[in-house]
Structure 1
Amino acid sequence: MALRGVGAKPLSERGKVDGREVLPWNEPGLSRADRVIAFCEDLPITAGKLAGSSMQLREWQREFIRAVYAEDTAGRRPVRTAVLSMGRKNGKTQLAAALALCHLLGPEAEPRGEVYSCALTRDQAAKLYAEMAAILQGHPELDDRCNIVRFTKQIEVLTGDGAGSIYSALSADAGSKLGLSPSFVVYDELGSAPNRALFDAMDTASGARDNPLMMVISTQAAADHAVMSELVDYGLRVQSGDVADPSFHLTLYAAPEDADPWEPATWLLANPAIGDFRSLEDVQRQAGQARLVPSKEAAFRNLILNQRVSAVSRFIHKAEWDANAGTVDAASLDGRECYAGLDLGATRDLTAFVMVFPDEKGRYDVLARFFMPEANIEDRSNEDRVPYDLWAKQGHITLIPGATIDPGFVADVLANAASRYSMQALAYDRWRIEDLKRELGLIGAALPITPFGQGFKDFSPAVDMLERCVAEKLLRHGGNPVLNMCAANAVVTRDPAGGRKLDKSKAAGRIDGLVALAMALSISKRHEPETLPACLAELVA
């Protein structure tokens, strides 16, 4: 039965179009990828100077389709997740709409299939619907087989390939999506998703299908912990051979971080359609503004050059921080001299305890522990757009039972650390420390705690120390994802005298781990033995 509602096509208007005997994508001798290409190129362009003409895929689009729809020796498509990432305005929406129609009523259609477009908001997801509806209206032969309901932004296939299949636009409210069984999903601009809930819901919902496909078409996210970043990183590992996974494909157009952002050759690396249907003049205009206005450079790098760069200027450059991600052998740290920093969060926030272990070469092994209340962890993950719940499952965050941080729990952790390692000093912020001191007293733990001011006077040397250690690659932080997040969010402010401090109020997210690390490094510097000048050392000897 056809869907009914506002915008539905009357039954009397169907069945009046004479179809071709053999459709272009059904010509004999075509491979699976060639059938998809033939279907796409039979569709009309709906807007712009080429409106009314047939779509002509560019070679870079054909290469992506051939990679995704290639078949194995058994005649099946191995790829189940496909990621296409490039700069903005490179025709992603039109390509996604064509492929969604291909799975809805073209050569990739299956009986009673379910095709969905996903995005941050329903309006954004509906952009793909609008493009699909416009294409169908410009293709009477396909339009005659469909029922389009504009009120609900749905399309139902009535006859032919894919009869009984439906398409619908979905937003990031993942709660109502768990009963779906998608055969094809296209996620538009996953890089801007607030969390991974909708992606995971659609990815896991396709298990009942024989050969489902999840397609992500997006620019890169700004942060490493975003689901889009995880997909890109995983795809790069697949490309390098580090991971063998024929079910995953990545096509990435992005400018390297060390490339000159103002050179046209660099723009082309992230914008395969530049000079074609991506305006070269528009990119030149944005590059000129970003070069003269520093606040626009980060957005230009992220949205145009498709680099993983936040639109907010950060204290620590990602490449420098990643260069310090050496492996930390936790077992070898037992009994070693260490210095620690503790940043107690509010009752429902993140608490960070970071220890640094200096070695004879002047480098530091970094061991970080994080704590959050167990109650409402998913809500806080959604609020901060950070996967705290996932990190807790992976062991990077310790969840404390209840709805608030229990100072007794933290006191036990500190006491155990002091007994395991040779803790020389523990720097702490005075805020909320009295409750912790009381708990330490109750368990008889005499820790070498040292107050650490959070103003410019006390924190400026800590910022200098942290910056030097990162720049000179003196840290081994093990790539802890929570600490990585804190480093990516960190910003500094200056006082009139030039002093600096890490500023939580201006940070893009939580920076507690980096604050604790800065305090630990600074307190270790204070405890370094003073070295006598050579002439005095000889006299003493």
Structure 2
Amino acid sequence: MVRKIRMVTSSTNPEWANVHPTHRYAAEIVSGFRLSCEQERLSAERHLKDLKRQGTEEFPFVFDESRAYRIFDWFEHCCRHVRGPFSGELIELLPFQKFDLGCIFGWVHKDSGKRRFKRAFNMRARGNVKSTEMSGLALYGMCGDCVYPPGNPAFKRYEESPEVECAAVDKQQAKRVWLDAQKMGEASPDILKRLRIKRTYVEHAKRGGWLRPLSKDTKNKDSGAPCIVIIDEYHAHANSEIVDVLFSGFGKRLQSLMLIISTAGKDAENSPCKKEYDSLTKMMRGEIEMDEEYFVMIRELDKNDDPHNESVWPKANPILQEKNEYSLELLRQIRAEHKTAYNTGDPAKIREFLTKRVNLWQADSENKYMSGIMDKWKALGVSRDAFLTLVHGLDSWAGIDLSKSTDLTADGFVFKLDDGRYAVTAHGFMPAETATKHEHSDRVPYKSWAKDGWCTLTEGSVTDYKYIKSHIKTQESEQKWNIVEICYDPYNATHFTQDLEDDGYERIEIRQGVQTLSEPTKFFRELVLKGLIVHDGSPLLTWCLSNAIEITDNNGNIKLSKKHKDDSQRIDLVAAIINAMVRAMVAKDTKSIYETQEIRAI
């Protein structure tokens, strides 16, 4: 939000001169007058299509221009910049902001006047005034948000004790929007007379309520009835707990609204924000059913765009289309970061540029084991029936990773095929109580995976290892597998594997140091790169692979680990397969690809 903006007027586009700014922007995008990505174009097309069907029986919403102008006036007459070269000046909304805000606040139910959208998902690159915009909206939620029948502001209804939540992944980030809102309120006489703004709290002078920062550490997150919820930098959230808890509080207010704002992130495999992004992009493309109460605006580079090409940067940075002092300085900064990232070749800097400056999701972090090849792995999967047919009656090396009896444990199986490929599969075991906890806290769908046969949920709070023994015996008998060896991590496994040995299995202890695990761990990844592995498409195994972090010693030896010892992002199924691979890759009559060709260390 900057001064001296370039507005599209009749001199540049006369047929749109008297059109509402929200409609005008949509028309400019659809016509190609403004540069846009696919997702922004789909949002503009959606708005124009909705205008044609508004107020009908199947679509009971109308666009109330007075409600859209009300939010514009709030920013431009009451809100002031609190940092940067325009600090202290009234905010002047840019065209892209008038489209986003006009849609979110202008669309209402034709009879009740209640806001159409309950949620809004907005992604754009860093530097495009997300925080300033959210601060102004937080204050609007405290002071100006109301309901009235379309075009009839005389019947305005305000919420008593308004509650506005500024939520983020941690306290510091949550306070960023809150502190900016606090400063913005203090700088505005119009706002200051409505609110009590103190160092530790903000409340309405007459109607009470609160404007507060909120993070995962905040107690009683689920005790409120929010009017407006702002989820800042959602890409940084490890799970969707805050979003789910706050959204569950909706229904207690006239027209609650959740505003999710973010850039792209670096952990596309596990991020709840990326899952939301994927679902919403499918929705906007018409691949799944449209949620008429969810506003979506994603500004990013398109799939085939070259991130080195400056001419496409405005797709993710709409401010760059406005020729003014701020946009020119932003362009200089983006150029500098691009030059630094690619001249140094630093992977971390390159990822930072791609996620923050051109809004492109990155699949992994710098030390992910399967960095850049998860798509290759997924492409090597076959159906479960096809897999079982492929390995029926074959020799198999079984790997066991018992981990904690209160969390995920696994068995894995490795097969050597006649054509030089390896086939792998794995199965998980988890106490039902633990699975329920992770379903709620970490959004890991263990119950769904169990229903589909990828894991077994055991009764009680600990896993009875007899389930693993039973699974191995069942696979052996039903699939006619010949279990050559059972390869196990010695942690907590001596008694269990002794029972297996008593049943006639040969057990092999697999030490867990890099000296033992490095070669099979590299070998497994090389098989994926060369397309010499096949698996049964287990989503649980794929999830474990995507979680695995690579630890390297001074000699270039590697082993796998989780990010943190208490991390819920488990790797147990791939650990079981690696244990089995230690022995399978050196079995008689088979040459390791390390013995037959030079393989670079990766």
TM range (shorter): 0.7 to 0.9
Query: Where does residue 249 of structure 2 map in the other structure?
Result: 205
Query: Where does residue 10 of structure 1 map in the other structure?
Result: none
More divergent stretch after superposition (130-139 vs 508-517) = 508-517
Contact residue 83 and residue 217 of structure 1 kept, 8 A: yes
Contact residue 492 and residue 502 of structure 1 kept, 8 A: yes
- 1:227, CA displacement in angstroms? 1.9
Query: Where does residue 181 of structure 1 map in the other structure?
Result: 225
Q: Is 1:271 equivalent to 2:325 in the alignment?
A: no
Query: Where does residue 52 of structure 1 map in the other structure?
Result: 88
Query: Where does residue 297 of structure 2 map in the other structure?
Result: 251
- 1:485, CA displacement in angstroms? 4.5
The alignment partner of 2:545 has SS state of helix
Residue type at the aligned position of 1:344:
L
Query: Where does residue 288 of structure 1 map in the other structure?
Result: 339
Query: Where does residue 548 of structure 2 map in the other structure?
Result: 489
More divergent stretch after superposition (222-231 vs 65-74) = 65-74
Task: Give the share of equivalent positions with the same residue, in percent.
Answer: 20
The alignment partner of 1:182 has SS state of coil
Q: TM-score of the superposition, structure 1-length normalised?
A: 0.77
Query: Where does residue 12 of structure 1 map in the other structure?
Result: none
Query: Where does residue 229 of structure 1 map in the other structure?
Result: 274
Query: Where does residue 480 of structure 1 map in the other structure?
Result: 539
Query: Where does residue 576 of structure 2 map in the other structure?
Result: 516
- Deviation per CA, 1:98-143: give whole Å up to 9, x if none: 2222232224473223221112233332222222222222321232
409, 415, 419: which one aligns with 2:477: 419
Q: Is 1:111 equivalent to 2:164 in the alignment?
A: no
Query: Where does residue 99 of structure 1 map in the other structure?
Result: 137
The alignment partner of 2:523 has SS state of helix
Determine the C-alpha separation between the residues in 2 that align with 1:272 and 1:485: 38
**TM-aligned CA distance change 1:505 to 1:316, over 3 Å:** closer
- Deviation per CA, 1:332-391: give whole Å up to 9, x if none: 555643644433324455323334678898777764422345566688899xx9545x43
**TM-aligned CA distance change 1:501 to 1:421, over 3 Å:** farther
Residue type at the aligned position of 1:460:
E
Residue type at the aligned position of 1:279:
L
- Deviation per CA, 1:434-491: give whole Å up to 9, x if none: 222234357x4x5576655654466414523433324538545536156324334332
333, 350, 354: which one aligns with 1:297: 350
Contact residue 465 and residue 522 of structure 1 kept, 8 A: no
Alignment of 1:344-493 (within 5 A): 344-355=402-413, 367-373=425-431, 386-388=442-444, 390-392=445-447, 395=450, 398-401=456-459, 404-425=462-483, 428-432=487-491, 433-440=493-500, 444=503, 446-447=504-505, 454=512, 455-456=514-515, 459-470=518-529, 472=531, 474-476=533-535, 478=537, 480=539, 483-491=542-550, 493=552
The alignment partner of 2:427 has SS state of strand
557, 560, 579: which one aligns with 1:503: 560
Determine the C-alpha separation between the residues in 1 that align with 2:97 and 2:225: 28
Query: Where does residue 73 of structure 2 map in the other structure?
Result: 38
- 1:524, CA displacement in angstroms? 6.0
390, 397, 401: which one aligns with 1:343: 401
- 1:247, CA displacement in angstroms? 2.6
More divergent stretch after superposition (244-253 vs 449-458) = 449-458
Alignment of 1:49-198 (within 5 A): 49-69=85-105, 70-71=107-108, 76-108=114-146, 110-112=158-160, 113-151=162-200, 153-158=201-206, 163-173=207-217, 175-198=219-242
Contact residue 191 and residue 227 of structure 1 kept, 8 A: yes
More divergent stretch after superposition (63-72 vs 205-214) = 63-72
Determine the C-alpha separation between the residues in 2 that align with 1:32 and 1:327: 52
Contact residue 122 and residue 171 of structure 1 kept, 8 A: yes
**TM-aligned CA distance change 1:174 to 1:133, over 3 Å:** closer
The alignment partner of 2:213 has SS state of strand
Determine the C-alpha separation between the residues in 1 that align with 2:579 and 2:179: 54
Determine the C-alpha separation between the residues in 2 that align with 1:319 and 1:62: 41
Contact residue 321 and residue 470 of structure 1 kept, 8 A: no
Contact residue 548 and residue 562 of structure 2 kept, 8 A: no
The alignment partner of 1:231 has SS state of helix
- Deviation per CA, 1:178-201: give whole Å up to 9, x if none: 221112100112222243322221
The alignment partner of 2:369 has SS state of coil
Unaligned runs of 5+ in 2: 1-62, 148-157, 321-325, 592-602
Q: TM-score of the superposition, structure 2-length normalised?
A: 0.70
Determine the C-alpha separation between the residues in 2 that align with 1:77 and 1:39: 17
Q: Is 1:330 equivalent to 2:384 in the alignment?
A: yes
Contact residue 271 and residue 305 of structure 1 kept, 8 A: yes
More divergent stretch after superposition (352-361 vs 89-98) = 352-361
**TM-aligned CA distance change 1:262 to 1:449, over 3 Å:** farther
Determine the C-alpha separation between the residues in 1 that align with 2:590 and 2:73: 76
The alignment partner of 1:422 has SS state of coil
